Chains A and B, each alone.
Chain A
């Protein structure tokens, strides 16, 4: 048994009839093999004693001095097999649940911006808690928006607790599923408490997670405290976690796009291994905001064709692993 044998239902209701493929099957295999090579021989730097301990017990080789973790093939493949192909992103009222995974496509808004164009003045300004609430309410009304990602940072909230304040504003202003980042494990606990109060208890929240967590590995090949704790604590509470890399090809990942897919894949798979080692079968997403790097302007253009290519390839790699996938438009 491996992830290749996971049960699939290609013909689920809402599956698009037309399919496009950027990578051939051999290319997916080649990227997977190169990723295993990187995970096994270069490794990933993992910050956090608890995460290192979990990975050690799962069979990874951990160097406590450098915090570099090397992942044997068997551990990676087992995690890929355990991670569910479909996960429930529950709505508060049960009316607008989104069952994520397979080949059904859902759409969501961008997050997290730190500035907004003010609707009245048209000027760019720092976003506030009111903007979080307003965008939540707007997306609640938008038909094609399957879930709401907290769109902007509440810059007027206490700096160390943006995530907590933002979650409250989201819960009060949309009944759709909420996607949000957490500062660390302690904040995950607070956010779980808050959502559990809405859901009617921790077990109710586990059965119907009203929110999911987003966390970004640091490219190349690092998982810092916020990531490892979001992944571990989220997994324990049954809160879905999106492991979403944001590499820039040529700067924080190889310039060749398939090489970027390798480090990207290694970062996400390291997160997925951690999640499944912390709690087997925990809901986890394969995420991407990876794009290219503009050498002339030193910007990360998300409107570039390379982003489209990487997002398409990432969706295909997720399909290969049969994992729910979250990619950037932009």
Chain B
């Protein structure tokens, strides 16, 4: 189906022009001298730590960024080609908490949870990519290499990790290279996208800049993921905040393309709204759905894959608010043509994540996918002959060959989780809730789903890389 344009053509153009204006006249604060020098050398104006980027430079960067590329699975059947018209669901990134599936209580995320999420995504048919929570039981300096190692061991699907420094990138690439039989082999079929966050407004720390540079130098898919908060770290107007976020993403893309033209990049939107009462960033509201859709449209306009927080909710429990906020956000993101649908499993403004919600989201993705595939309209499906046959017969379509053929052909969606019982049966069965069914399915998959283990020597080598990282980075 044709993607939904939330912005009219001229509105899109004005956001683009305003973005160029910001990049050219306000510029990006880049706290990394080598990158400033590099940008100075190709025609940027450097004023102190601030780099002013010309429209021409932005245009060239967007030209060299590939419009389509593939995030690979360990097995090719799990490849995610990022092409127009395809959307992939990605589990939540960076939540400090999880809802424990056994106790139902919120607790800090652990490395074991990273493994669980990776394995669960591996098992579910409509979940395509893994991103990890932030575990507390590992030293913060090496949390990203450990998360990547854990995901590599527990999924055959593509993955994404957010990093904060270049040195993390170096160890992550070592881990990935070990798992894939060398850096070249990994680069040829990257199973990982590395994301870096500019600080809003328009700032890249030394560490974050290094992370962009290291990732681009390695030619590994890079996500630029600012998270401006409307009214706090970005303008109060939605269009204004989109302009700022756009400048932050494009600035990151300029750096990556300057370092290594052709680096695959993902346009990532994590724009949120500040709740004026609590100061908290809010992810479940219609403004997030709107700006996500606009960001997805901007990404399409620039010809790079777009990624948004598609499952955002402010709800804490698995209640109606949780369901409708995540469903509306997802629908807007998919309709707008986002390539990557982030935050599967997220609750409480992405502060926690839960395996039950991952299972539920897998069902939501299947539901929306059915809608987006649209309706077959041809002579056979218009069914004039079948209608004649049924009306001349007993008036029922149940026994027709046409019914059997289309049923087998997948005309009607069969849910994996949703309740379709009649009231009496549902009542007799103890009024099961979707949360109970999701929980049972999560537990069943976690108990039984096996991911083919990495070879033992690879496993040991990964441990050795993590040991090196710990020795170098962890301050005792």
Query: Are B375 and A258 within 8 A (Cβ)?
Result: yes
Name B419-475 residues within 8 Å CB distance of A: 420-423, 425
Specify which of B375, B391, B420 is in contact with A257 (CB 8 Å cutoff).
B375
Contact assessment for A41 and B381 in the assembled complex, using a CB-CB cutoff below 8 Å? no
When C-beta atoms are compared, the residue in chain B nearest to A312 turns out to be B371
Q: Does A308 sit within 8 A of B, measured CB to CB?
A: yes
Interface residues as binary, A172-183 with B (CB distance below 8 Å gives 1, 0 otherwise): 000000000000
A-contacting residues, B394-412, CB 8 Å: 395-398, 402-403, 406-407, 411-412
Q: Is the interface of B mostly helix, strand, loop or mixed?
A: loop
* In the complex, chain B residues whose CB is within 8 Å of the CB of A327: none
Which residues 325-375 in B have Cβ within 8 Å of A in the complex? 335, 367-368, 370-371, 374-375
How long is the Cα–Cα vector from A313 to B422 in the complex, in angstroms?
27
A294 interfacial by beta-carbon distance below 8 Å: yes
Q: Are A256 and B418 in contact (CB under 8 A)?
A: no
How far does the Cβ of A245 sit from chain B's closest Cβ, in whole Å? 14
A290 at the interface (CB under 8 A from B): no
Most chain A beta-carbon neighbours within 10 Å: one of B2, B384, B418:
B384
CA distance A249 to B412 in the complex (A): 9
What 0/1 readout, one digit per residue, does chain A (246-281) give for beta carbons within 8 Å of chain B?
000111111111110111000000000000000000
B139 proximal to A (CB < 8 A): no
In the bound complex, CA of A264 to CA of B420 (Å): 23
Instruction: Compute how far the CA of A196 lies from the CA of B397 in the bound complex, rounded to whole angstroms.
Output: 44
Nearest Cβ on chain A to B472's Cβ, whole angstroms: 51
**A221 neighbours in B (Cβ, 8 Å):** 387, 391
Determine the chain B residues whose CB is within 8 A of the CB of A301 once the complex forms: 418, 420
What is the total of A-B residue contacts with beta carbons within 8 Å?
Answer: 138
Per-residue CB proximity of A220-261 to B under 8 Å, as 1/0?
Answer: 110000000000000000000000000001111111111101
**Complex-state Cα separation, A259 to B397, whole angstroms:** 11
Residue of A nearest to B336 (CB): A18
A42 within 8 A of B: yes
Contact A259 B388 (CB under 8 A): no
Contact flag A220-B377 (CB < 8 Å), given A22-B1, A249-B412, A250-B403: no
- Selected from A255, A299, A304, A305, the residue in CB contact (under 8 A) with B406 is A255
Q: Are B384 and A262 in contact (CB under 8 A)?
A: yes
Q: Which residues on the B side are within 8 Å of A258 (C-beta)? A: 375-378, 381-383
Q: How far is the CA of A38 from the CA of B386 in the complex (A)?
A: 11
A297 CA to B424 CA, complexed, in Å: 12
Does B177 make an interface contact (CB < 8 A)? no
Is B6's beta carbon under 8 Å from chain A?
A: yes
Does A259 contact B382, Cβ atoms closer than 8 Å?
yes
The reply to whether B387 and A259 contact each other, CB–CB distance below 8 Å, is yes
Is the CB–CB distance between B386 and A254 below 8 Å?
yes
Closest to B413 in A: A305
Does B57 interact with chain A (Cβ within 8 Å)?
A: no
User: In the complex, what residue of chain A is closest to B331 when comparing beta carbons?
Assistant: A308
Q: Whole-angstrom distance from the CB of A155 to the nearest CB of chain B?
A: 16
Choose among B367, B380, B395, B397 the residue with the greatest number of A CB atoms under 10 Å from its CB: B397
Which residues of chain A are within 8 angstroms of B415 by Cβ–Cβ distance?
304
Cβ–Cβ contact B387 & A38, under 8 A: yes
Indicate if the CB atoms of B412 and A18 lie closer than 8 Å: no
CB neighbours of B402 from chain A (8 A): 254-256, 259
Does residue A31 face the partner (Cβ distance < 8 Å to B)? yes
* CB-based contact B407/A30 at 8 Å: no
> How far is A263 from B395 in the complex, measured between Cα atoms in Å?
12
A27 to chain B, nearest CB (A): 4
Chain A residues lying within 8 Å of B382, measured Cβ to Cβ, are 30-31, 34, 256, 258-259, 262
Contact among B371, B380, B381 for A305, CB-based, below 8 A: B371
Please tell me if B390 contacts chain A, counting CB pairs below 8 Å: yes
Interface hub of B335, B382, B402, B403 (most chain A Cβ within 10 A):
B382
Distance from B66 Cβ to chain A, minimum over Cβ atoms (Å): 29
Q: Which of B335, B377, B380 touches A20 (beta carbons < 8 Å)?
A: B335
Chain B CB within 8 A of A121 CB: no
Tell me, yes or no, whether A184 is within 8 Å of chain B by CB: no
A38 to B388, CA, bound (A): 8
Q: Is B4 an interface residue (CB 8 A)?
A: yes
Residues of chain B having any CB pair with chain A under 8 Å: 1-2, 4-6, 8, 335, 367-368, 370-371, 374-378, 380-384, 386-388, 390-391, 395-398, 402-403, 406-407, 411-415, 418, 420-423, 425
Known: A41-B388, A250-B406, A296-B420. 18 other contacts (CB 8 A): A18-B4, A27-B375, A31-B382, A37-B384, A220-B390, A220-B395, A249-B412, A250-B397, A250-B403, A254-B390, A255-B403, A257-B381, A259-B383, A262-B382, A303-B418, A305-B413, A306-B370, A309-B370
Chosen A-B contacts, 22 in total, with CB atoms closer than 8 Å, are: A22-B1, A37-B384, A220-B390, A221-B387, A250-B398, A250-B403, A250-B407, A252-B396, A254-B406, A255-B406, A256-B382, A256-B406, A257-B381, A259-B384, A259-B402, A262-B383, A297-B422, A297-B425, A299-B421, A301-B420, A309-B370, A313-B375
Q: Which 6 A-B pairs have the closest CB atoms?
A: A259-B383, A254-B383, A256-B381, A305-B370, A27-B377, A34-B382
